[in-house]
Structure 1
């Protein structure tokens, strides 16, 4: 099958970056280079913060054309910020006494900074799992919510506890790409909103785009673009909502999908 594609969006963790080896497979790197030679625009679409954009590009060893970051809440193209949507204070304030009383660990993510309220065993276990590709945040006073924009929370809770958590955080939603925590953003946020902002700026139709992802926070973008590809290692709900399921990241999944669609 051969299709016309003008832009492709890639999640990072579990999609470009292996959770087993903590590196980009050689086949994925070759694929990125070949797509660039074909003139296809290449973007990252990640829950990660722009604060670590330099280290992300160093880790991936590739410079992308633009960035959908913080799960679509902060988007950059050629140094220009195209979307900047933070969580309002009225959604954050009711949460603080709840997480403090129940000793729930949350990471608060700003555009240029990230901090945590408490570090517990759950946090330490996740940091060990993700290895050197993650970031160790430090405990800071939650009064920062009044002086700095908060774009996203990483709530270290089980899926069964998400509804109760969100009851204390009005007009927000949870998206999950791993068992350890859920990404929390505004109710009408998501990677699809960030992609929409980028495509509107570039004048590219979503039907001429592909996206690759593996987690629950990728579902909205896989459904939004013309062709949504779930990695073979993706969560079952992600595979169910994708247009195509490729092989595992460690089994050359990105290259396999691109060959299937005639792009390599």
Structure 2
């Protein structure tokens, strides 16, 4: 019997958008056809909401699991939130300062760096997202909820953090930057909250991804699809590998799932 999926989760960078941060026209068309058939498309990204608002509108997607599962919105309604405890943020701030590694704090409405002026690691990594650079507020973490932090360090220095901060999780997304989450934080956590709210099971879902922060998501759902341009370490977690984002990857993956 053919499996009928009810919801599809899409990562953004390297999945919905190419290296130029553009959504291929065939992906937009595929998502429109998906909606016409009654299947819900949802963004599942490490990005914050202010990093993808226009992109979501272009794709015709109204719901998202963002900030690596820490903030979940379904058609305008917030369903789930997870912030990093203040005590853990304080330890991260202290350790990163001792190692001279800048931080960027991500709230649900804005993001701020704890260094004033342009810092090469901060600028280069955030520039790669094709979004505006953060403003400066070293104490933002004391004032508002922080859902995720960008830790700006190279891979040779990341070993300083996991043992010193066991309540936090570190996932690299750029050669000069890592996402910092709560220890249990992942896209899968946010997806589970959304599925529960909608009365759906993980096996009712499909997910597309290409990066290291997509492992848990692909493992959770009924059909995990890795893009042809995916990180090699993601492939063992996928049920299927589609073509590259710029080679019809989204459309071809949906065809494989029996949704187009």
Which TM bucket (shorter chain)? over 0.9
Between the aligned partners of 2:210 and 2:237, the Cα distance in structure 1 is: 11
Between the aligned partners of 1:114 and 1:128, the Cα distance in structure 2 is: 14
Give, in angstroms, the shift of residue 156 of structure 1: 1.6
Give, in angstroms, the shift of residue 84 of structure 1: 0.9
- The residue that corresponds to 1:249 in the other structure is 245
- Asked whether the equivalents of residues 32 and 60 of structure 2 are also in contact (C-alpha less than 8 Å), the reply is no
- The residue that corresponds to 2:44 in the other structure is 45
| Aligned ranges 1:136-151 → 2 under 5 Å | 136-141=133-138, 143-151=139-147
- Asked whether the equivalents of residues 91 and 170 of structure 1 are also in contact (C-alpha less than 8 Å), the reply is no
- The residue that corresponds to 1:30 in the other structure is 29
- The residue that corresponds to 2:92 in the other structure is 95
| Aligned ranges 1:31-180 → 2 under 5 Å | 31-52=30-51, 54-58=53-57, 61-118=58-115, 119-130=118-129, 133-141=130-138, 143-180=139-176
- The residue that corresponds to 1:207 in the other structure is 203
SS in 2 for 1:68: strand
Range with greater deviation from structure 2 (194-203 or 119-128): 119-128
- Asked whether the equivalents of residues 92 and 169 of structure 1 are also in contact (C-alpha less than 8 Å), the reply is no
Q: Give a deviation string over 1:171-206, Cα, whole Å, max 9, x none.
A: 010122333311110001110010001000101111
Q: List runs of 5+ in structure 2 lacking aligned partners.
A: none
- Asked whether the equivalents of residues 176 and 215 of structure 1 are also in contact (C-alpha less than 8 Å), the reply is no
Q: Give a deviation string over 1:196-231, Cα, whole Å, max 9, x none.
A: 010001011110110001111111101000011111
- Asked whether the equivalents of residues 10 and 16 of structure 1 are also in contact (C-alpha less than 8 Å), the reply is yes
Between the aligned partners of 2:50 and 2:24, the Cα distance in structure 1 is: 25
TM-score (norm 2): 0.92
Q: Give a deviation string over 1:89-147, Cα, whole Å, max 9, x none.
A: 111111222222322122110111101123422233334444xx323112222x22222
- Asked whether the equivalents of residues 228 and 243 of structure 2 are also in contact (C-alpha less than 8 Å), the reply is yes
- The residue that corresponds to 2:16 in the other structure is 16
Between the aligned partners of 2:186 and 2:126, the Cα distance in structure 1 is: 24
Between the aligned partners of 1:110 and 1:3, the Cα distance in structure 2 is: 38
Q: Kindly report the root-mean-square deviation, in angstroms, between the aligned alpha carbons of the 2 structures.
A: 1.8
- Asked whether the equivalents of residues 91 and 172 of structure 1 are also in contact (C-alpha less than 8 Å), the reply is yes
Between the aligned partners of 2:192 and 2:242, the Cα distance in structure 1 is: 24
- Are the structure 2 counterparts of residues 240 and 170 from structure 1 closer, same or farther at C-alpha, using a change threshold of 3 Å? same
Report how many aligned residue pairs link the two structures.
Answer: 258
1:219 equivalent to 2:218? Answer no
- Are the structure 2 counterparts of residues 53 and 16 from structure 1 closer, same or farther at C-alpha, using a change threshold of 3 Å? closer
TM-score (norm 1): 0.91
Q: Give a deviation string over 1:222-255, Cα, whole Å, max 9, x none.
A: 1000011111111011112111111111111111
Q: List runs of 5+ in structure 1 lacking aligned partners.
A: none
Between the aligned partners of 2:234 and 2:46, the Cα distance in structure 1 is: 16
Q: Give a deviation string over 1:62-94, Cα, whole Å, max 9, x none.
A: 232421011001101132211111000111111
Q: Give a deviation string over 1:23-80, Cα, whole Å, max 9, x none.
A: 001111111011011100110011111244533424xx02324210110011011322
Between the aligned partners of 2:181 and 2:224, the Cα distance in structure 1 is: 22
Give, in angstroms, the shift of residue 169 of structure 1: 3.1
- Asked whether the equivalents of residues 188 and 220 of structure 2 are also in contact (C-alpha less than 8 Å), the reply is yes
- Asked whether the equivalents of residues 226 and 242 of structure 2 are also in contact (C-alpha less than 8 Å), the reply is yes
